[in-house]
Amino acid sequence: MDRVRIVCTPGVCGGRPRIDGHRIQVEDVAIWHERLGMSPGEIVSEYPSITLSDVHAALAYYHEHRARIDADIEAATRYAEEMRADAGPSLVQGKLRQRTADGPNDPLPPG
């Protein structure tokens, strides 16, 4: 008996489609395969808790619902870019900029 491999559960992963029993979303598998060029076998090697059948089910689901999932991926990308822009430079980036500005007066030795 084959189990349902792709599920959508309210409150889990934002209700987005995911591999049953995992928090790996269909959009994750789509990104790994379509954008990063990973083969299904490479995905399973990287995430051994899922099976090759799970990956193929996720890719089939992605192709059947491509427009909606691509829109979700783009929305998440835009949101992440907005958050990065709003956050400004990290503390490390700020310290590096200050160190560069201090130049020869920097009390720390280079390197």
pLDDT in the model for residue 93: 80
CATH number of 6-102: 1.10.10.10
10, pLDDT greater than 70: yes
Domain ranges in the chain are 6-102
3-state secondary structure the chain: CCCCCEECCCCCHHHCCEECCCCCEHHHHHHHHHHCCCCHHHHHHHCCCCCHHHHHHHHHHHHHCHHHHHHHHHHHHHHHHHHHHHHCCCHHHHHHHHHHHHHHHCCCCCC
1, pLDDT greater than 80: no
pLDDT in tens, 48-72: 999 999 999 999 999 999 999 999 9
Greater confidence (62 vs 4) lies with: 62
Range name among 22-31, 70-79, 96-105 with the lowest pLDDT average = 96-105
pLDDT in the model for residue 52: 96
22, pLDDT greater than 70: yes
Give the global pTM: 0.74
74, pLDDT greater than 70: yes
